[in-house]
């Protein structure tokens, strides 16, 4: 096969992430989406862009700074990537704010949900707001006048700040002309007015509007010429020299505060900020014009998510539902989950089916006198976690509890450090995996004494042990007590907690050892079957597809005649539909109410119909720099469920499916004259208990 760059076989990752956010924004633009959900999707785009700038754009800027001349797989240099991404990000943000001002806010106003501007406040509202400013805001605001002894402050990453232009001299005769006011994070960005002064049920005022109205109170005797909100986004990747540190947790605790003060990568300002002030802020932050985003509205749309959470209007949201349960767990004797697992493996499909059995599995283990040990991996659980509480209870009662905590789970480091400390305080064994490899595998194992011997029970899944995201993300989880399957899981735990060579696994594929080679072998096996005239088929579902080796194997399989369907929610570097290369490959992305998170890999394998589930995407990091597992679904009935619920229904979707062309552009699949089929709605009707 020819050089990948020369033949244009790969698409750029960063451009793909912008393209993904266009698809998310399309959910907010869709008038069939309930109004508050449209606002939520708008906020999700802002949150996604924040992380994109903090990590991906920051990385590109570092490469440019170091004059890195290496090409990415798509054949682009860092400065070329940055130029293209900057242009597309500016266009996306402009489209986002146009939607906010032209559709979302007017639509909310029609429903009695108002965001009051200063010009519209009546006398009663002005009085209440003034009192609020002096009572709640003034005591915690710290204005910084810029002069020789007060240089421009290192404003916190993504914090709301105000640049204030002043005229006149202060009590010490100083006249710098500019002051900076940072809004403390303890202050809400949106304040709901009390009913007695509201014209409708929901009247909100932006914190920025209150500060604009009363900023003069912070500068007695000075004349305020202007007040302009701004926000700086900074490089948030953490650097810990894993070869030098002796205690990763202590080193990470020392590094976390620095995340707020990395190099600036983006400046956002409100539309009223004049050019001279924008230029001043750019200079102080060390940024150029291409890093500058001037917006018509609040500089942090993600904070408007609080509105979605506080407004009780079910008619403006998706219909509520109660997650269902498999028939096995609906029976009267379902209280003993170990007994049920002994009969058959149990498959859960979240969020359509409840996450509660996973919590119950650990809670029962914590209190069961026959359980002697619990082992679990922790990547993301949240600050308030029943899973972690159950592990703490188990350790407190004297059981052997071992928890592999991934301290470097991006943006969850602080929560994981706190859980690690609490677990250690009650006698649990806490380890941090393997240096240089994030532990991303999702595994829990219970060891129970039964009839004089020990039996192992495991839960493995595609998603985190996080009850909140289990209501929002689609994932599969599997319970089993099959001996060889459990022995494989135990072997991975032994690697994570001890030392020694990797043992051979019967069922599991594991990163960084066998996962990549086994995946390539499975793809090549389908190609060989196709060349031999046998039926051959690959269907894979994941969050991202970037790893060149897998992409090349898929191209070769396509050329051999294998029909390949890829359901990739986010970034896909593979180019489908190119004659002589990928004409047998179709790529689609499903964007809907729930975040598609499960990873499913199906190979026809001569009629064996192999189904694998995993926590890993087809990315370099997942194959080579993480501890991941990919596990088979062994029972025929459960295989059929995964095929139907996880793959086939998404290939039929003609409502929320975006099909990708060979240039990396996505087109929403239209139902036309055919019956509308939404995969997520179908699964809700089939699996959830009620809607």
Binding site, annotated residues for ATP: 48, 473, 569, 597
287 and 209 fall within a common domain: yes
What CA–CA distance (Å, rounded) separates 13 from 8?
Answer: 14
Contacts of 428 (CB under 8 A, 6+ apart): 391, 392, 395, 401, 402, 403
Q: In angstroms, what CA-CA distances link 528 with 534, 548, 638, 678?
A: 9, 20, 27, 35
pLDDT higher than 80, residue 169? no
DSSP 171: T
Please enumerate, by residue number, every residue annotated as part of a binding site for Mg(2+): 380, 410
Residue 365 maps to a domain: yes
Mean pLDDT value across residues 502-516 = 93
Give the C-alpha separation, 229 to 223, whole Å: 18
Kindly indicate the confidence band of residue 411, based on its pLDDT and cuts at 50, 70 and 90: low
**Residue at 121 is within a domain:** yes
Q: Residue 431: inside a domain, yes or no? A: yes
For 608, half-sphere exposure in the C-beta direction (CA atoms, 13 angstrom radius) is 14
**CATH for 233:** 3.30.1840.10
DSSP 8-class letter at 579: T
Mean pLDDT over 341-367 rounds to 96
| Domain-embedded: residue 13 | yes
- Give the mean model confidence (pLDDT) for residues 172-196: 87
- Whether residues 477 and 536 fall in one domain: no
Q: What pLDDT score does 43 carry? A: 96
pLDDT grade for 475, boundaries at 50, 70 and 90: very high
Q: Check whether residue 415 and residue 492 sit in a common domain.
A: yes
423 has a pLDDT exceeding 70? yes
Q: Is 321 within a domain?
A: no
383 and 338 belong to one structural domain: yes
Last residue of a domain, one of 316, 342, 373: 316
Q: What is the pLDDT of residue 410?
A: 55
pLDDT band at 333 (very low <50, low <70, confident <90, very high): low
Q: Which residues are catalytic?
A: 440
pLDDT value of residue 1: 36
Return all residues near 275 (Cβ < 8 A) that are at least 6 apart.
Answer: none
In a domain, 447, yes or no: yes
Token pair listed for 118: 């200063």
Written in H, E and C, the secondary structure of 220-231 is: CCCEEEEEEEEE
Q: Let me know whether 173 and 49 are in one domain.
A: yes
Question: Structural domain of residue 250, as residue ranges?
Answer: 4-316
Same domain, 384 and 525: no
Helix, strand, coil percent values for the chain (each to nearest 5): 40, 25, 35
Instruction: Give the pLDDT of residue 499.
Output: 72
Among 481, 506, 531, which residue terminates a domain? 506
* One domain for residues 493 and 599: no
Are 489 and 594 members of one domain?
Answer: no
Whether 428 shows a pLDDT value over 70: the answer reads yes
Judge whether residue 154 has pLDDT over 90.
Answer: no
Query: Collapsing DSSP states into helix, strand and coil, what is residue 499?
Result: coil
Taking only the tens place, the pLDDT of each residue in 41-67 is 999 999 999 999 998 999 999 999 888
Q: Let me know whether 616 and 657 are in one domain.
A: yes
Q: What torsion do the CA atoms of 603, 609, 614, 619 make, to the nearest 10 degrees?
A: 0
pTM surpassing 0.75?
A: yes
The answer on 452 and 354 residing in a single domain is yes
Q: Point out the domain boundary residue: 479, 506, 533.
A: 506
**Residue 322 within any structural domain of the chain:** no
The tally of domains found in the chain comes to 3
CB 64 within 8 A of CB 78: yes
**Same domain for 448 and 373:** yes
Same domain, 528 and 501: no
**Residue 379 pLDDT class (50, 70, 90 cuts):** confident
Question: What pLDDT band is residue 12 in, cutting at 50, 70 and 90?
Answer: very high
- CATH for 547: 3.30.870.10
Residue 332 has pLDDT above 80, yes or no: no
Q: What is the mean pLDDT of the chain?
A: 90
């Amino acid at each position: 096969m020819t050089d990948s760059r020369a033949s244009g076989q790969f698409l750029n990752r960063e451009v793909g992430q912008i393209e993904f956010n266009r698809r998310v924004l399309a959910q907010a633009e869709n008038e069939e989406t309930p109004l508050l959900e449209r606002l939520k999707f708008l906020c999700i785009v802002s949150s996604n862009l924040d992380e994109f700038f903090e990590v991906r754009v920051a990385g590109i800027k570092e490469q440019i700074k170091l004059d890195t001349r290496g090409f990415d797989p798509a054949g682009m240099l860092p400065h070329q990537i940055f130029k293209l991404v900057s242009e597309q990000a500016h266009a996306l943000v402009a489209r986002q704010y146009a939607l906010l001002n032209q559709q979302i806010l007017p639509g909310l106003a029609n429903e009695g949900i108002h965001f009051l501007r200063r010009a519209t406040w009546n006398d009663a509202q002005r009085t209440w707001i003034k009192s609020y400013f002096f009572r709640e805001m003034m005591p915690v605001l710290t204005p910084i006048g810029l002069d020789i002894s007060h240089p421009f402050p290192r404003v916190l990453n993504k914090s709301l700040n105000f640049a204030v232009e002043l005229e006149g001299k202060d009590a010490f005769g100083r006249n710098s002309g500019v002051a900076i006011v940072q809004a403390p994070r303890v202050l809400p960005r949106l304040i709901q007015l009390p009913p007695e002064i509201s014209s409708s049920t929901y009247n909100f005022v932006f914190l920025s509007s209150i500060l604009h109205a009363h900023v003069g109170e912070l500068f007695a005797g000075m004349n305020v010429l202007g007040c302009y909100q701004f926000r700086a986004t900074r490089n948030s990747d953490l650097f810990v020299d894993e070869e030098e540190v002796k205690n990763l947790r202590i080193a990470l605790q020392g590094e976390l505060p620095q995340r707020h003060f990395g190099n600036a990568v983006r400046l956002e300002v409100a539309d009223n900020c004049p050019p001279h002030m924008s230029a001043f802020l750019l200079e102080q932050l060390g940024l150029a014009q291409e890093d500058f985003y001037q917006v018509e509205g609040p500089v942090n749309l993600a904070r408007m998510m609080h509105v979605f959470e506080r407004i009780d209007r079910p008619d403006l949201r998706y219909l509520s539902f109660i997650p269902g349960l498999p028939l096995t767990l609906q029976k009267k004797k379902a209280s003993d989950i170990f007994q049920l697992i002994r009969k058959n493996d149990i498959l859960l499909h979240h969020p359509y089916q409840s996450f509660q059995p996973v919590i119950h599995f650990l809670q029962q283990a914590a209190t069961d006198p026959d359980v002697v040990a619990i082992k679990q991996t922790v990547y993301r659980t949240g600050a308030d976690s029943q899973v972690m509480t159950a592990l703490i209870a188990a350790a407190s009662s004297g059981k052997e509890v071992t928890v592999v905590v991934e301290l470097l789970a991006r943006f969850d480091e602080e929560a994981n450090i706190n859980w690690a400390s609490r677990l250690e305080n009650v006698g649990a064994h806490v380890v941090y995996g393997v240096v240089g490899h994030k532990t991303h595998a999702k595994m829990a194992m219970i060891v129970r004494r039964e009839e004089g011997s020990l039996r192992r029970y495991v839960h493995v899944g595609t998603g985190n042990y996080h009850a909140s995201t289990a209501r929002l993300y689609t994932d599969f989880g599997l319970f089993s007590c099959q001996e060889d399957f459990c022995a494989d899981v135990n072997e991975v735990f032994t690697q994570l907690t001890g030392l020694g060579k990797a043992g051979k696994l019967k069922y599991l594929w594991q990163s960084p050892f066998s996962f990549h080679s086994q995946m390539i072998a499975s793809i090549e096996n389908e190609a060989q079957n196709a060349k031999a005239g046998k039926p051959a088929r690959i269907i894979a579902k994941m969050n991202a597809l970037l790893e060149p080796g897998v992409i090349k194997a898929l191209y070769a399989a396509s050329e051999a005649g294998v029909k390949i369907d890829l359901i990739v929610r986010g970034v896909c570097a593979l180019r489908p539909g190119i004659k002589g290369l990928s004409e047998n490959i179709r790529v689609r992305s499903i964007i809907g109410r729930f975040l598609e998170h499960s990873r499913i890999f199906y190979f026809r394998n001569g009629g064996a119909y192999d189904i694998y589930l995993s926590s890993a995407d087809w990315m370099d990091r997942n194959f080579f720099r993480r501890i991941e597992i990919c596990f088979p679904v062994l029972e025929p009935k459960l295989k059929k469920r995964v095929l139907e619920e996880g793959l086939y229904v998404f290939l039929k979707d003609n409502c929320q499916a975006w099909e990708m062309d060979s240039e990396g552009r996505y087109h929403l699949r239209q139902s036309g004259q055919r019956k509308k089929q939404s995969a997520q709605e179908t699964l809700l009707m089939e699996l959830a208990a009620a809607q």
